């Protein structure tokens, strides 16, 4: 089974649900890159399950969870603007040839 780099961002109003969602995302092996943003490699089946599971964290109309799979080209073309070095790719995943 193949894995795609996946970004997950959320906007929830309740601290307790945010905390539970954060723990749930970590259980999928995602790592935090922003306060409400995570990145990691998820296969299509698990991404589908995650999309179904995060519904239980949403209570209000204005709340949302974005699950965005990125192809390899998208990962390579990604630009991150920050005051400190940030990457959606772990250094251990980069092979210098």
pLDDT of 96 over the 50 cut = no
Q: Is 81 helix (H, G, I), strand (E, B) or coil?
A: coil
Segment 43-82, tens digit of pLDDT: 999 999 999 999 999 999 999 999 999 988 888 888 878 7
Task: Enumerate long-range contacts of 46-49, CB under 8 Å, 24 or more apart.
Answer: 47/4, 47/6
Where do the domains of the chain lie? 4-93
Segment 4-15, tens digit of pLDDT: 899 999 999 999
State residue 96 phi and psi, 5-degree precision. Answer: -90, 125
Tokens of 19: 């905390």
Fold for 4-93, please state it: Alpha-Beta Plaits (3.30.70)
Segment 51-62, tens digit of pLDDT: 999 999 999 999
pTM for this model (two decimals)? 0.82
Is 12 in contact with 21 (CB distance < 8 Å)?
yes
């Amino acid at each position: 089974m193949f894995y795609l780099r996946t970004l997950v961002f959320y906007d929830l109003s309740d601290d307790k649900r945010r905390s539970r969602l954060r723990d749930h995302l970590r259980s999928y092996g995602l790592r935090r890159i922003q306060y409400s943003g995570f990145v990691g490699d998820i296969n299509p089946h698990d991404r589908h399950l995650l999309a179904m599971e995060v519904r239980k964290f949403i209570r209000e109309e204005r709340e949302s969870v974005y699950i965005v799979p990125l192809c390899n080209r998208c990962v390579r073309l990604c630009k991150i603007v920050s005051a400190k070095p940030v990457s959606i790719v772990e250094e251990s995943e980069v092979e210098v040839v």
